[in-house]
Structure formats: structure tokens, C-alpha cells
Amino acid sequence: MDQQTLGVIVGTALIAAFVYAIFSLFKGSSEPAPAPETKKETSGDSSKTSSGGVAKKKLQAAAKPKKPNVSGHPLLAAELKGHTGPVTGVDFDLSGDYLASCSEDRTVRIWYSRDFTEREHKYHRVNVELDQASKVRFSPDSRALVTLLEDAQLVRVLKLTRKKDNSISGSSLAVDVGKRDARLPSPYICVAIASTGKYIMAMTRDCHITVWSTKGDVLEVLDTRQMTGHFADISPDGRFIACCGFVADVKLLEVKFTKSGEYSGLSRAMELTGHSSSVYHFSFSADSKRVVTISKDGSWKLWDIDVNYELRQDPRLLVTHQHCASPAQSAMLAALSPDKTTVAVAQGGSVTLYSADDGNVLESLGSVHTGDITALQFNPSSDLLCSAGLDKRVHVWHNVIGLRANAEALSAKIKTTRNNPLLTERLQEQLQALEAKLSQLTA
């Protein structure tokens, strides 16, 4: 080996030794000192354990939303338990005897209003196999359920059978009204059946409305051109289909039939124009003469739609109330009592009741659900309000304003039945029971 090669080897070794020394010095100065040894407690006294775990558990508990305790609420009529998944829809039948609820737990439950005052609430359970009903509606005669199947995107009608005491004994498939057209890529979000029993309607998220006969024949598919759909429904008299979405208006379409009863199409009737942002929801009165709308602009509006729209007469705005600041931080629902006296508004898990006459707050139920409320509806007699939500709960509330209206109607009726002592006596007993309930609720 020559001297030049030897010099290269020695030089390389010296450089390597120098780098190693510098690396060792840096590692030793930056490495943290070893942590002091912690002895494990063996006495079994939990108070001697590290406080870090306790603090962590407290933080985790605080982060979880607390379930509102509604059992002691003075206006609670019934707390209906049984669903094991978020509740996505509810519907009272036209008689007010039944309340249907559907859930992501793949069941539809039919509750009996006669049991609302009892400690236990009986129900009939309908299992939705391999799917879930996202919406549910009663047929006009309460003998069938119209369900919207989420996965199959199918409108299914179930026939209900009853016992002599009017309790539901079973259900069976009546007809699959129609699967969503493949040309409509957006899913259905709502379904309704006309009180006349002549047609069924569903709307997709991209605002296409499909109308079927109750036998399942497609009558019409219409694009309402509202971009993103939020809600659609049929007026209680079956005359209109209304829909709302991303735009700030609510469209009302007249459903026309020939004199012989054949379907002849949808035509523009009127529009409810006045909100400054998207309309989330709306609700009709029982006589189809009033509509309440609620918007992302934070306000609700009450409209009189009993106008001659064929002569281009516009709906009349009766009341406007600012429920929250604009823009609303979460979607809202609105329900107008069938007797037109009360407007209920749900936002998040809270419910507020307003006077439909002047917009004043009548009652704030407060935060009564954990998570968003998904359904809000009055019963036909306006004395009960149902709310349901993502917390798997269905609550039924007394509506004091509706009870007072019923008491006034009974008093007026008693004055006209003085020639019928038996009827007068029966009505007076009903009035006394109603007044006793009012006294208890308003004490």
C-alpha cells in the first residue's frame, strides 16, 4: 500500500471520529432527563390515583350534550319511548286517534292518543325489512300508511288492519306506488297523500315533483326550478301542492282534474314572496286558507292565501316575526295549528309557541330535545303538539291556546243545544273536564 492511499484512509477515519464525537455531544445535551419513577398504588383507594385521569373523565363528560329532563315539564302530555334510532318523521291521522313515527331503527310505530295520559304508551310496530322509512303519512281514512323508503327510493303503501277497539292488529303491503325515475338522480325527501285520496306526491332534493295515482300510475313529473329542495306538501283540501327550497319563495301549484275525475295537470296558482333567503319549511291551516313559512332569514310569516289567484290576486301577508338573527345558524321547522291560533317554531332542539294573531310569544318550551328536531306537527284538534328529533325521542305537548279555543267552541255550542237536555249535559261535562285541565296547566 503506497503512502498516498494510507493517508486517505487515515484522513477518512479522523473525519468519521470527529463527526461521531459532535453527534454524541448534541444528543446528550438535548435528551430530556428521565422521568421520576411513579409507584403503583396497591391499597385500592381510588383517591390516591393520579388526578389527570379524573380531570380527563370530567372533560369528556362535560363535552357530551346533556339530555334535557322533560319529564317534569308542566306542558308535557306524553314522552313516547321505544325508538332506538333518530326519528325522521311523524304524522297524526285526520281523526287524531293515531300518531305514526318513523325512525332510522327501521321501524314505524303507531301510537294511540288515548294512551297519552297513561303511564305506559302502547304502540303497534311495523318493521321495515332491509330498509328504513324516512317519512310517513296516514291515508285520509286512516286505514293505510304511505311510507318513503330511504334506500330503495320507493313510495310504499301499507294497509292497516284493526281490532274492534280500533287498535292496530297488523299491516300488509297494499301497493308500491313507484320507484324514483332513474332520470332523477337526486333522492326523494318528502311524501304526501291528498285528503281526497286521488293522488300521492313526492319531491326530490333537486326539486322534481312526481305525482302518482293511488294505484301507482305516474301522472306527472315537474321540475319546480328551485335548485335545492327543502320541503313539499299537499294542502289539506287537496287543491294545491306547495314546495320550497333554496330560493326565497314558496310555490303553490294547483292540481287540476276534469269534471269526470281525470287528472289534467299542475298549473301555477301563486307564490309566497317576501323572505330574503331560503325557505326551510311551511305549514297549512286545516281549512287551507292560511300558510306559515319560515326562512333562513330568521323570520316566520303568516299568509292569507284565500284569494282569487286566477285573477292574479296576490296572497296577503298577515304577520311577520323575527325568531332569530339572520342568517339562521341551523334549519328551522314551523307548524300552524289547524285552528289558525298558534304558530310553533323549532330550531335546534328548542320549541317556541307564538300567537298567530300578533306574533307575540305565548310559550317557550325551551330546549326539549338533544340534537335537532326533525318533525313538528299539531293534532287535528289543535290542543296537542308533537315534536321528534335525532335524540330518538317523540314528545307530545299540551297547547294551552288550542285548549282555550276548544273550550270557547264548546261554550258556543252549548248555547245552541238548550232544546236537547241530554246533549247539553254531555257537552257541559266535556267543558268542565276541559276547564279543569286548563286550570291544572296554567296553575
- Consecutive sets of 10 residues in the chain, 443 residues long: mean pLDDT of each? 51 55 45 39 39 47 59 89 96 97 97 92 94 97 96 94 93 87 85 96 95 94 92 98 96 96 96 96 98 97 96 96 89 95 96 95 93 96 96 95 85 87 88 84 76
List all residues 6 or more positions away from 141 whose beta carbon is below 8 Å from its beta carbon. Answer: 197
Opening angle at CA 436, ends 433 and 437, nearest 5? 90
What pLDDT was estimated at residue 29?
42
What pLDDT was estimated at residue 40?
36
Please name the residue ranges forming H helices in 254-349: none
What pLDDT was estimated at residue 349?
95
How far is residue 375 from each of residues 100, 132, 346, measured CA to CA in Å? Answer: 11, 16, 9
What pLDDT was estimated at residue 417?
86
What pLDDT was estimated at residue 105?
97
Strand 249-257: give its sheet, edge to edge: 229-234, 240-245, 249-257, 263-273
What pLDDT was estimated at residue 306?
97
349 three-state secondary structure: coil
Task: Give the DSSP H/E element, type plus range, for residue 303.
Answer: strand 299-304
141 three-state secondary structure: coil
What pLDDT was estimated at residue 49?
40
Opening angle at CA 343, ends 338 and 349, nearest 5? 120
111 CB neighbour count, 10 Å cutoff: 25
Distance CA 108, CA 370 (A): 21
CB-hemisphere CA count at 13 Å for 88?
Answer: 20
8 A C-beta contact, residue 359 and residue 320: yes
In sequence order, the β-bridge partners of residue 292 are 283, 302
100 CB neighbour count, 10 Å cutoff: 26
What pLDDT was estimated at residue 347?
96
Distance CA 79, CA 121 (A): 9
